[in-house]
Structure 1
Amino acid sequence: MSGILVEETPSVDETVMEVPAHSQEPEDIKPDIGFDEDEKPDIEGLEKSTGEEEEIPEPKPERTYITIRVVAQDGLEMSFKISNTIKMEKIFKSFAERVKLAPIDIRFHHDGKRVKGSETPLSLGLEDDDEITANTEATGGCYFA
């Protein structure tokens, strides 16, 4: 030989694994899970924890319906039955369509304060049968006699 040592590894057929006679029945094979069978852990209440406290989302406000009146400067009055969570811009658009004006040309006020389109009746504190005034936008302000 040329000095190369070749080891023979046993083939799979030659490897014999002996299993003790007492563990050949299936009921004897039990996984080692670290607790007795009488002491099973309560896994129903367990949740995945990231180590941080999860924020509980705020409950959504209860949706109720109210009727509001939109009164124009010329005496025209319209009533709208709306949800208290709807954005006021929807009311503004509807009113503007009915009076055939662009919503940008009308200013809406409640209790002397301008109402923004992003507000809701809930955020404004509107109650059933409250009034919103609608005025056309006035540009300028100069008067000639």
Structure 2
Amino acid sequence: MDVKPTIDSKPDIKGSDDPPATQIPQGKVQVLVQLGEQQFRYAVKPTTPFKKIFDATEKQVGATPGTLRFHHGGARIRNDDTLVSIDADLDDDIEISASVEQIGGALNGFGAFAL
């Protein structure tokens, strides 16, 4: 009896929105984070999660992790976003704005009315 081994093929798990690997630049891109008057510059790969940039910025300013919010082109950047996923122009420096998270909106603890 002749038994031939079967070869399991793995399904393609890449999403249809992922660009082919040949289109992603392999070098590093400069990311400039602007927080008020302070600027921080990082050289990162296009596929690096922004969480690494967020953590480094919060550490440099002494902020509690998770208290800064980051935006690019008016859109909020999430921890798992990358330069590729936000469609950043990888030929230029990428400018990111950071701000302190605002919690609530009450004035003097009395809502909209001051007594």
Same fold? TM cut 0.5: yes
Larger Rg: 1
Matched residue, 1:70: 33
Mark the runs of 5 or more structure 2 residues left unpaired by the alignment: 15-19, 109-113
Q: Among all aligned residue pairs of Structure 1 and Structure 2, give the percentage whose two residues are the same amino acid.
A: 26
Mark the runs of 5 or more structure 1 residues left unpaired by the alignment: 1-46
C-alpha RMSD over aligned residues = 2.6
2:106 is the alignment partner of 1:142: yes
SS in 1 for 2:55: helix
SS in 1 for 2:47: coil
Structure with greater contact order relative to length (CA < 8 Å, sep ≥ 6): 2
Matched residue, 2:55: 93
More strand by share: 2
* Runs of 4+ displaced beyond 6 Å: none
Query: What is the number of equivalent residue pairs in this alignment?
Result: 97
Deviation string 1:56-87 (CA, Å, 9 cap, x unpaired) is 67664553310011001x22111111011111
Q: State how 1:1-145 maps to structure 2 within 5 Å.
A: 49-50=6-7, 55=11, 60=21, 61=24, 63-72=26-35, 74-126=36-88, 127=90, 128-143=92-107
SS in 2 for 1:123: coil
TM-score, structure 1 length as denominator? Answer: 0.57
More helix by share: 1
